[in-house]
Structure 1
Amino acid sequence: MTSTTSTPLSGTERLRPHTTSAGRTSRRRIRKDLLRSRIAAWTAVLVIGAFGMLPIYWLLATAMSSPEQTFQFPPKLIPTEITFSNFTALAENDQLIKYLVNSLIVASITAVLSVAVATYMGYSFSKFRYRGRRSLMHLVLASQMFPQAVLLVTLYAVFSSFGLLNTYTALVLSFTTFTMPLCVWMLKGIFDTIPDALLEAASIDGASRWRTLHSIVAPLAAPGMIAAGLFAFVRGWNDFIFAVTLADKEKQTLPPGLVSTYIGEFQTAWPELMAASLVVSVPVVIAFMFLQRYLVGGMTAGSVKS
């Protein structure tokens, strides 16, 4: 007589008949949800990317088109005849090159001056305690609340009385007026993250406050200083209203220079204007490419206080 013995099922085998259908359904549902979320995320990225890149593409397409193609109707998204004559004409325009040189001079000096003043003011607000400190901080911040056009009349009268109209000095001082407050608060936030113990250790070692700032604090705050300088440079590079009001044709920068060169009373040279706009944007793009890591680090360094 033979006896049969049954082998006990393992835990996995016992659970398999009960969980196979439900587990597969759950996994399919999870995969579908993940697929839908990825599709939605990529769709949002494509839509936002198209929204941001379409003006740049249209700028490039117009710059490489002839005037006849620019004004034809209906407009074509892709130009049929590509020309580079709009770009070559820029090198032959001596006045446009003069505007470019003016922009480089004014924007560079504005960046250096804004960072230099903001460094000392931000360090003073962050590491020193004195009477009137908080009121002065609020006063610096309150200067950003006034529209630029309101202060333009006052600045024009001041520069006129001192004989500074139609000079680089007037443009630099006016641009610095609006870039310095934000630079001050940006650098103050970065200086707040530097431990006071580090400054006390430098003082014990015999370092003066001047040397502590330049030899210890400034290298640590370099990303923030670069970010502030880049912000001031772009502000001076893109300004229109102050440059067109406070400077004559010899000292004007690119924004009013492009308007006066390509935009007339009865006609606008759109292909040449788009080509010039594309070319003058290159220095700012290059600056952002090389200083991107410093810009991100400087903008976020003072966001969290240690």
Structure 2
Amino acid sequence: MSLSTQLPAAPVTPMPAEVVERQVAPKRPRKPTLLRAERPGVRIAAWAAVIVCGGFALLPVYWLLATSLTPRTEVFSFPPQLFPANPTFEAYESLFTNPALFNYLRNSIIVSVITAVLSVVVSAYMGYAFSKFRYRGRRALMYFVLASQMFPQALLLVTLYTVFAAYGLLNTYTALVLSFTTFTLPLCVWMLKGFFDTIPDELIEAARVDGASRLRIIHSIVLPLSAPGLVAAGLFAFVRGWNDFIFALTLAGPDKQTLPPGLVNTFIGEASTAWPELMAASIVTSLPVAIAFIALQRYLVGGLTAGAVKG
């Protein structure tokens, strides 16, 4: 008798169906991703487009920097030099020895900050009223506010000049702040209105059931939740007041002018133009806005896209 006939057969444990299917079923080929499916020519064309667009956007900034480091006698050299042969910081040194530029800088900070604060305060209440209140004429009033953006701002300059002259507001900060706030309010109102639409009405109703007043609801619940939208609106108003040229040149005198018209009056003359100093001043005055955008970038993106999808 053989050994195999003496030992009992071991019980066979059935394998789960999912294990058998996993072992028997052939592996499915991976679906090619977008990058793998692209041909090399498409990828090269995409990178070429990115490089061209980036160069188109950054070349003026580099030319500002290169011109600011070029001596005045070599600015108009031919052929133009991509890199300064004899770089110098004389243009930047002249900025800090010119007291008029500090006066323009102070005016720009005062006007831009007040414009941003006033625009945010007014547009917050208007945007909340458009978003959460229901009354007759609401939609018509909303489109009326938006339609004010259709008129060219320079077209209203003569009217504003006449009104401010009649009330003795020319050559004052008040004229600049009121004019800048007037043109920033429509966009700020619609930006915050879209942000307030994303706040659930149930949250406001719950606060009202707990006995909170309308002002308490706005200040303690709605505005803290709308911080990204408020930052985005304030930054837009700040940049509007910082970069304006025509209103600051017309409505303000030499003592109250901001940086854009101040730089033109300082470095651009009838006979000659101090291009290195002008380029250096342009770079220095652009730094505050660039730093503000970098520091508040996440709030700005969140505020601008909050009203795109209603949650």
Structure 2 length-normalised TM: 0.88
Separation in 2, partners of 1:157, 1:80: 51
**2:143 corresponds to:** 138
Structure 1 stretches of 4+ moved >3 Å: 30-34
SS of equivalent residue, structure 2 residue 123: helix
More helix by share: 1
What is the percentage of aligned positions where both structures have the same residue? 69
1:148 aligns with 2:153: yes
Separation in 2, partners of 1:100, 1:242: 16
Cα deviations by residue, 1:176-208 (Å, 9 ceiling, x for unpaired): 010011000000000011110010000011111
Q: Relative to structure 2, which stretch is displaced further, 208-217 or 40-49? A: 40-49
| One-letter code aligned to 1:293 | R
**1:280 corresponds to:** 285
1:52 aligns with 2:75: no
Q: Relative to structure 2, which stretch is displaced further, 116-125 or 31-40? A: 31-40
Cα RMSD of the aligned pairs, angstroms, is 1.6
Separation in 2, partners of 1:180, 1:243: 18
| One-letter code aligned to 1:301 | A
1:105 aligns with 2:110: yes
**1:170 corresponds to:** 175
Separation in 2, partners of 1:235, 1:137: 22
**Rg comparison, structure with higher value:** 2
- Residue of 215, 218, 234 corresponding to 1:213: 218
**1:266 corresponds to:** 271
**1:296 corresponds to:** 301
**1:12 corresponds to:** none
Correspondence list, 1:229-244, <5 A? 229-244=234-249
Separation in 2, partners of 1:53, 1:113: 33
**2:90 corresponds to:** 85
**2:165 corresponds to:** 160
Deviation at 1:231, TM superposition (A): 0.3
Separation in 1, partners of 2:178, 2:159: 13
| One-letter code aligned to 1:179 | T
Separation in 2, partners of 1:156, 1:49: 41
Deviation at 1:36, TM superposition (A): 2.5
- Residue of 44, 52, 59 corresponding to 1:39: 44
Q: What is the number of equivalent residue pairs in this alignment?
A: 280
- Residue of 206, 209, 222 corresponding to 1:204: 209
| One-letter code aligned to 1:206 | G
- Residue of 190, 203, 222 corresponding to 2:195: 190
| One-letter code aligned to 1:182 | L
Structure 1 length-normalised TM: 0.89
**1:61 corresponds to:** 66
In structure 1, the gaps of 5 or more residues are 1-14, 16-22
Deviation at 1:32, TM superposition (A): 8.6
| One-letter code aligned to 2:72 | P
Separation in 2, partners of 1:191, 1:112: 19
Separation in 1, partners of 2:47, 2:265: 43
- With over 3 angstroms needed to count, the CA separation of the structure-2 counterparts of 1:221 and 1:32, relative to structure 1, is closer
Separation in 2, partners of 1:80, 1:108: 40
Separation in 2, partners of 1:113, 1:102: 16
Deviation at 1:151, TM superposition (A): 0.7
Deviation at 1:150, TM superposition (A): 1.1
SS of equivalent residue, structure 1 residue 229: helix
| One-letter code aligned to 2:164 | F
Separation in 1, partners of 2:147, 2:110: 29
| One-letter code aligned to 1:161 | A
- With over 3 angstroms needed to count, the CA separation of the structure-2 counterparts of 1:136 and 1:78, relative to structure 1, is same
